[in-house]
Amino acid sequence: MKRFKEKTVVVTGGNKGIGLAIARRFGNEGARLAIASVESNVVEAARSLEDEGIAARGVVCDVTDKEAVRALYDEAEDAFGGVDISVQNAGIITIAKVENLTEQEWDSTMDVNTKGVFLCCQEAIARMRASGKGGRLINTASGQARDGFIYTPHYAASKFGVMGLTQSLAKEVALEGITVNAICPGIIQTDMWDYNDKVWGEMLGDYGPGELMASWVENNVPMKRPGSGADVAGLVTFLASADATYITGQTINVDGGLIMS
């Protein structure tokens, strides 16, 4: 089914992991894509989507830089027409005991995970308002927007922040045909989880590669499997679809039952 034919979608952090899976799913359902990343291989990632028959542009963009974010949305509009759907997915994590957590880690995590989401929403809303056609914003939070895990106070704070800005913006644009929702992935197998597994694993006990993730999944995820980017993409595309017209300001878990609140 081509639910997103003629729609233009921006996905930040779209060169790999969850973001690339989201982009691919939109593309397979007919959307045109501008994928953005601070990593230059986003251009190759877009090319590989094009090889799959998906209209895609790769844009190098640091989501903490307001001018770069403006240029990203300009490029999406110039290439494909107005922006219909924007997925704020770029994110970073570090893990440290509180006495070792630096101010720089605090600031950069808040900058990418919270301010970056805000700057992209701000730019997308301006364009959706100007078009008068409404739109959809989906912001990536985390299970850590529900329940802060150990050694990541900065990450948890940044993701709780995403939930708050999602609710506030949803109220502001509700009469303009724009919905704003957030998602909370649980344990999803990506480069980010490889880092988590190694660093949390070393800090929490004698875990070898992959063992911490396996243990958390076994003990805490009722479905007893980690998630995939495709699992997350299913929720994001639903929230962007015509079936989700009356859903806004929500934060929805996609985590195999890890967190049930």
Ligand X SMILES: NC(=O)c1ccc[n+]([C@@H]2O[C@H](COP(=O)([O-])OP(=O)(O)OC[C@H]3O[C@@H](n4cnc5c(N)ncnc54)[C@H](O)[C@@H]3O)[C@@H](O)[C@H]2O)c1
Nearest alpha-carbon partner for 48 in 70, 24, 82: 24
The length of the chain is 261
Number of residues located near ligand X, criterion CB under 6 A: 30
The neighbouring-strand residues paired with 9 are 33, 85
Q: Which single residue brings its beta carbon nearest to ligand X?
A: 91
End-to-end CA distance of the chain: 32
Site string for ligand X, 51-90 (x = CB under 6 A): ----------xxxx------------------------xx
DSSP readout, 56-88?
A: EEEEE--TT-HHHHHHHHHHHHHHHSS--EEEE
C-alpha 217/C-alpha 56 separation (Å) is 34
- 246 a catalytic residue: no
Rule CB under 6 A: say whether 39 interacts with ligand X: yes
Identify the residue among 191, 206, 260, 261 touching ligand X (CB under 6 A).
Answer: 191
Rule CB under 6 A: say whether 152 interacts with ligand X: no
Rule CB under 6 A: say whether 256 interacts with ligand X: no
C-alpha 65/C-alpha 111 separation (Å) is 9
Identify the residue among 7, 16, 136, 146 touching ligand X (CB under 6 A).
Answer: 16
The residues annotated as belonging to the active site are 155
* Residues at the interface with ligand X (CB under 6 A): 12-13, 15-19, 37-39, 61-64, 89-92, 112, 116, 140, 142-143, 185, 187-188, 190-193
